[in-house]
Structure 1
Amino acid sequence: MMRYPAPLAAAAVALAALAGFVDAVAWIELLGFFASFMSGNSTRVAIGVATGDWAAVRIGGGLVLMFLSGVIAASVVGHRFAGRHKAPVMLVVTVALTTAACAAWWGYAMAPLLLLAFAMGAENGVFNRDGEVTIGLTYMTGTLVRLGQRLTATLLRVPGDHAWTPFLALWLGFVCGGVLGALASRTSLAGAITIAAVAAGLLTLAMAAATDRSARVRRVAPPQR
C-alpha cells in the first residue's frame, strides 16, 4: 500500500469502507452470509453440507460463485485496459451495484444480494499488478497480519521502513464502512444499496482523476540517471 501515491492510498481506504458497508448490509439481510467474506460463506457451505442445511449450501454457494464471477470480470477488464485499469474496473463495480439497487427497488430479494457479491469480487481487481492483488480491499485478515508484523518490527527496531499506519487505516476504513452499512440497512435494502452505488460512482470518478494525475506526474518527471 505504501507504493501508491497518497490519493490512491486514500481511495483504497475509501474502497475498504465501501466493502465494509456492503458486507454489513448483506450480512443483516442474509442472516449471517456475506458479500465479500468468502471464507465465512465457504464455512457456512461446509456446515450446511455436514448438517443437511441445503438452503445454506445454495445461498453460500451462490454468493461464492458470484464473487468469483466478479473477480473474473475485473480480470478481463484489467487485461483489456492494462496499465490504466483502475477506473474501468471501478466502473464494473458501480454498474453491478447500480443494477443491484434497481433490482432491490423492483422488489427482488436474492438477486440484489448476489450482485453485491459480484461487485465485491470485482472490487478486488482495482489494485492489481501483474495479475496479483496488491491491496486486499474486501478481506482484512491479510491486512491485520501485515499490521501485526509491521508493529512487531517497529517495536523491535528492525532496520527498514515498517510503516504500519496504512494498514491500520485500511482496517478502520472497513470497520467504519460496516457501521454505516448496518445503520443504512435500517431504512431499506434498496436505500442502502443505492447509497453504495452512489459512493461507488463517486469513487470511480475519483479513481479516474487520481490515475490521470499520477500519469501526468510520471510524464513530467525527469529521467533517472
Structure 2
Amino acid sequence: MDVIADSEARLSWVLAGLAGLVGAAAFTVTGGYFVTFMTGNAERGVLGFFTDQPTMARAAIFITLSFVGGVVVASLCRRHLWVNHPHGATVLTTFALVVASVVDLIMAGWDAPQVEFVPILFVAFGIGALNTSFCKDGEVSIPLSYVTGTLVKMGQGIERHISGGKASDWLGYFLLYFSFVAGALIGGLVSLVISNPQMLVTATVISAVVSTYTYTVADRTGVLG
C-alpha cells in the first residue's frame, strides 16, 4: 500500500466496509455467529466442546468450511471464468446473500425473531468469495475481512514510520481497518431499526449496489486487475 489513495485502495475500503456490514448483519441477527472472524471460529470450534457449547462449536466448524468453500469457488471462477472480469467475486458474494435471504424467508418468514443457521452458511460462503477480490500472482493481496493481519501490518508500518519511514507505511492499513469497523458500525445501527430477516435482505441490497459499481466502474477501468 505505498500509494494510499489510488483507485485500488479506495475500492478496497468500500469492499472492506461491505464485509464489515455483512458480518455485523450476520452477528446481530443470529445467536452471535461470526462470518468474518475465522480465528474466533477456529477457537470456538475447538473450545466449544470443552465449555458445554457443542452446538456453537459445530456451527463454527461449518461456517469455517463454508468460508473456505467460498474462497475456493471464487478462486476457481477467477482462474477459469473471470480471467478478464475480476468483479465476479463481488457478484458471487451478492448471489450468495440472495440465496441466504431467500432460504431464510422460506424457513422462517419475514417477521421471524432470528435468522436461521442455514442461511448464515451462505453468508459465510459469500464473505469467503469477497476476500478474493484483490489478487496478484494467484494470491490475495488485500484480505478484506482479515482484521488481525491488517493490524499486524499497520503495527509494523508504525514501527517503520517511527524508525524514519513515512505515514504511508501504516496509514493505508489503518484506513482499511477503519473501513471494516465503519461497515460494522453501520450494520449495527441498521439492526436497531429493522428486524432480523429484513436486516439480511438489506445487506443483500447493499451488496448488490456495490457489485453493480464494481461491474460498471471498477472492472472496466481495471481497478480489480
TM-score class normalised by the smaller sequence = 0.7 to 0.9
Look up the SS of the partner of 1:200 in the other structure. Answer: helix
SS of the counterpart of 1:49? coil
Distance 1:84 1:155 in 2: 41
* Residue of structure 2 aligned with 1:201, choices 186, 204, 208: 208
Residues in 2 aligned to 1:58 and 1:191: alpha-carbon distance in whole angstroms: 26
Cα deviations by residue, 1:114-157 (Å, 9 ceiling, x for unpaired) = 11111111111111122211001012111111111112211221
Deviation at 1:29, TM superposition (A): 3.0
The Cα offsets for residues 170-208 of structure 1, whole Å up to 9 and x where unpaired, read as 111111111111222232222222222222222222223
Structure 2 unaligned residues grouped into runs of 5+: 109-115
Mapped to 2, the partners of 1:214 and 1:59 lie a distance apart of: 38
**C-alpha separation between the residues in 2 aligned to 1:139 and 1:14?**
15
Tell me which residue corresponds to 1:178: 184
Partner of 2:35: 35
Q: Which runs of 5+ in 1 are unaligned?
A: 219-225
CA distance in 2 between counterparts of 1:41 and 1:214 reads: 34
1:163 positional shift: 3.3
CA RMSD across the alignment: 2.3
User: Which runs of structure 2 are paired with 1:89-100 in the superposition (5 Å)?
Assistant: 89-100=89-100
Structure-1 separation of matches of 2:29 and 2:91: 25
**Matched ranges for 1:155-170 at <5 A:** 155-158=162-165, 162-170=168-176
CA shift, 1:82, in A, is 5.5
- When Rg is computed on C-alpha atoms for both structures, the one with the higher figure is 1
Instruction: Look up the match of 2:219.
Output: 211
The 1:2/1:103 distance shift into structure 2, 3 A limit, reads farther
Aligned equivalents of 1:3, 1:82: Cα separation in 2: 26
More helix by share: 1
TM normalised by structure 2 equals 0.86
Q: Identity across aligned pairs (percent)?
A: 30
What is the TM-score with the length of structure 1 in the denominator? 0.86
Contact 1:71/1:124 (8 A) holds in 2: yes
- The structure-2 alpha-carbon separation of the partners of 1:4 and 1:77, relative to structure 1 and needing over 3 Å to count, comes to farther
Contact 2:4 2:171 in 1 (8 A): no
| Alpha carbons of structure 1 residues 4 and 75: separation in structure 2 relative to 1, 3 Å | farther
